């Protein structure tokens, strides 16, 4: 299951939202037309146009976030004008619309835009309404903004937790194989299109099976966790650590040439050799294969090359680095 774009509404709810908005605005347009208020009829008729277009595109799966954001802003502009013209009859539409900002914009932008929208609408209504009435609407409107902001903050935190769970290996905290494919495909594309270099380090814990056999799988899991944490402390901010499988880890070094990658690998190997991970198993070493990205490489050949280099390192006696020639 894919996690959707953060600031978007799923397709079916989006269609229902827009149908409800179209029904509401059409009712308003008809009502204003019956009462011969042709200016507001025209303004809201214009606001209906992008909403209907967005609905059609959403049904055809061709709409985008920017289009929905612009549609919301156009409708809000029409509501501001109605507040100026008819006062509280326009103000009643503020509360439903402020919530939509928090579906289509990030939290900071939503707070700024919804507050600005509410303030302009309320000030505009002062042209025809008493200060007391506008103040009453102000309390209700800003309560809605506060509640929407709190709700959006909670949802965003929950989403971040879900994204973390979906993208990381639970035991080690490293990124998982799904993220590996996505990130490596991007690196291959960037190299082929823009010649942006990248390198891979494939790391295997030496004699890991011996740890499991002699001390148990719980101790083996502890080693994997501490090993991963040590690597994450040593690599750069832009480098990415993945759990490749079993006791194997892979590091993607973006924008890194072959020579620099080999130095990083040797420094990492030495730091692991010197690190004390387990009391029962004092010394842990690793073997590392290093492969830079080259023009003829695909995702599969790049990984295969790195894998072959790792096995060369293991066959050479372990606790060493073997780099692509």
Position of tokens 């303030």?
Answer: 119
Strands of the sheet containing 240-245, edge to edge, are 240-245, 248-254, 198-205, 286-292, 321-323
Catalytic residues: 247
Torsion of CA 26, 143, 158, 182, to 10 degrees: 50
Closest by CA position to 125, among listed 140, 108, 110: 140
d(CA 225, CA 171): 6
Domain with CATH 3.30.70.270 in the chain: 177-323
Q: Indicate the SS3 state at residue 308.
A: helix
pLDDT of the residue at 10: 81
CATH architecture type of domain 177-323:
2-Layer Sandwich (3.30)
d(CA 99, CA 117): 12
d(CA 202, CA 248): 7
pTM of the model: 0.71
pLDDT of the residue at 27: 95
Residues 235-244: pLDDT tens digits?
999 999 999 9
Low-confidence ranges of the chain (pLDDT < 70): 1-8
d(CA 33, CA 42): 9
* DSSP 8-state symbol, 35: T
d(CA 5, CA 163): 11
pLDDT of the residue at 7: 56
d(CA 284, CA 277): 7
Q: Indicate the SS3 state at residue 206.
A: coil
């Amino acid at each position: 299951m894919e996690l959707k774009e953060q600031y978007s509404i799923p397709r079916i709810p989006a269609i229902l939202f827009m149908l409800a908005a179209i029904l509401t605005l059409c009712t308003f347009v008809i009502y204003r037309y019956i009462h011969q208020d042709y200016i507001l009829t025209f303004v809201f008729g214009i606001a209906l146009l992008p909403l209907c277009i967005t609905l059609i595109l959403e049904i055809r799966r061709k709409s985008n976030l920017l289009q929905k954001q612009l549609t919301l802003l156009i409708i809000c502009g029409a509501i501001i004008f109605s507040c100026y013209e008819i006062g509280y009859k326009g103000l009643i539409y503020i509360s439903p619309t402020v919530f939509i900002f928090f579906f289509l914009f990030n939290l900071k932008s939503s707070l700024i835009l919804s507050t600005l929208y509410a303030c302009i609408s309320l000030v505009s209504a002062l042209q025809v309404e008493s200060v007391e009435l506008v103040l009453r609407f102000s309390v209700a409107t800003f309560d809605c903004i506060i509640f929407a902001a709190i709700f959006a903050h909670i949802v965003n935190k929950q989403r971040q937790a879900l994204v973390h769970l979906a993208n990381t290996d639970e035991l080690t905290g490293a990124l998982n194989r799904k993220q590996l494919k996505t990130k490596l495909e991007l690196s291959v594309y960037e190299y082929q299109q823009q010649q942006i270099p990248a390198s891979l380090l494939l790391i295997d814990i030496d004699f890991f099976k011996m740890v499991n056999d002699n001390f148990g799988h719980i101790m083996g899991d502890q080693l994997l966790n501490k090993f991963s944490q040590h690597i994450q402390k040593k690599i750069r901010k832009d480098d990415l650590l993945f759990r490749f499988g079993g006791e194997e880890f892979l590091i993607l070094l973006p924008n890194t040439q072959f020579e620099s990658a080999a130095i990083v690998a040797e420094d990492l190997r030495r730091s692991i050799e010197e690190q004390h991970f387990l009391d029962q198993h004092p010394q842990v070493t690793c073997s590392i294969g290093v492969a830079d990205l080259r023009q003829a490489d695909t995702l599969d050949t790049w990984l295969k090359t790195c894998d072959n280099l790792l096995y060369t390192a293991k066959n050479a006696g372990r606790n060493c680095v073997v780099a692509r020639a």
